[in-house]
Amino acid sequence: MLLKLHVCFLVLQQVLAQTSTSTALADSAPTEPPSTQTGKTPALGWNTWNAYGCDINEAKVLAAANSFIDLGLADVGYEYINIDDCWSKTTRNSTTQRIIPDSTKFPSGISSVADQVHALGLKIGIYSDAGTATCAGFPGSLGMEAIDAATFNEWGIDYLKYDNCNVPGNWSDSSQPEGGDWYNSNSAVRYRQMGGALAQQSRPIQFALCNWGNANVWDWGARVGHSWRMSSDSRPNWSYITSIITTNVAHLSAVGFYAHNDMDMMEIGNGALTTQEQRTHFAAWAFLKSPIILGTDLSKLDDTQVALIKNAELLAFHQDITNGSAAHPFTAYTGAPTTSPPEYYSGTSSTGFHVFIINTSSSTATKMFKFSSVPELGQTGTWKVHDMWSGANLSGTYSASSSFSVSVQAHDTVAYRITAV
């Protein structure tokens, strides 16, 4: 009996020590909010990972930057050229403790590549990790945040993707933190430390938290960074698209200016997604205001895919500077069936009201909504409808009591702007 009491006492001591340590970490962690000089609207850019993994070099990065110009992506707002994992040597400089770029992959150095990207009128991003090593085993930034933030600033970096691999056990979270506020969790503190270091730099650096939706990041992400990943890595299949939309819809109250739920990188151009699935992929990222970070070899995109990712009207909704909210699900008509994810969404922009409809079924289906059911429209008024994909106005006008029907192909999304007559 005495032995059992002794063991229980030791366990209690360990729990109290861990709680005390966690509380002390949170108490001393930076509280600076993210910069308001960048990241007001969701990021538009490209990232090396989905296209190349670790097989990266400065030629591929600069080729992507030039593709932004040649394909007209820069003209519609795409600006970030982001280098993901595997860009550095496996050990830091023994004297300065700075991360060293891999001179085989980046013979000119990251700073020179940044200069060339900036010369094109674009911005550049880089990758690190809130652990002891990156996901591919290169140096992480945990405990080295001040050095790394200063290094990135010196190189001219504009965007930091900050991953969540190789976290020591004493820095992870096994349960909800004391007081129930995940902002004071070990996970949040690791990101707050880098956020505080970035706040000390002269350059505004957009901070993308990549903690995979852990520690209820949507509850505190906006206090630390500009965007936060909601799940594990994206995949080029319909199942991923529907699952991440479902996840995002549950946390849309977190979305606003400088605050974006991140559904991860675009898979357009990868895998075997149909044209309709790629349209939904792009449209959902746009109307839910996730960062849109392309993740393919841009030189291999066909004309249809290029036109899709350049859709000016969906991008205008995504980048609207008068309304930072995402579109929200609504009930299309009394008695409408529920689906997961929801199929009907509405939102507001500086150009009008919007309705987006996803056909989640595997066959063509007729979709219908009543104008009076769209929350933004109210119960009176006369409306005209504009197709955001084609850029054409539909014929006729509609009253609040009218219904609107459209045939939607399997896994496709239609998008409309609705304005008063």
Active-site position among 115, 233, 297, 387: 233
- Bridge partners for 366 per DSSP: 407
Long-range pairs for 188-192: beta carbons < 8 A, 24 or more residues apart: 188/26, 188/29, 188/215, 188/217, 188/220, 188/224, 189/25, 189/26, 189/29, 190/130, 190/131, 190/142, 191/130, 191/162, 191/224, 191/225, 192/29, 192/30, 192/31, 192/224
Query: DSSP letters of 347-369?
Result: EEETTEEEEEEE--SSS-EEEEE
Query: DSSP letters of 135-168?
Result: TTSSB--TT-HHHHHHHHHHHT--EEEEE--S--
Is 158 part of the annotated catalytic residue set?
no
Contact predicate 173/212, CB 8 Å: no
Contact predicate 418/355, CB 8 Å: yes
Contact predicate 38/259, CB 8 Å: no
Is 320 part of the annotated catalytic residue set?
no
The DSSP secondary-structure symbol of 134 reads -
Contact predicate 161/82, CB 8 Å: yes
The DSSP secondary-structure symbol of 244 reads H
CA 374 from chain centre, in angstroms, equals 27
Active-site position among 163, 262, 264, 412: 163
CA dihedral 248, 252, 257, 263 (to 10 degrees): 0
d(Cα 279, Cα 267) in Å, to the nearest integer?
11
Q: Which residues are identified as catalytic?
A: 163, 233
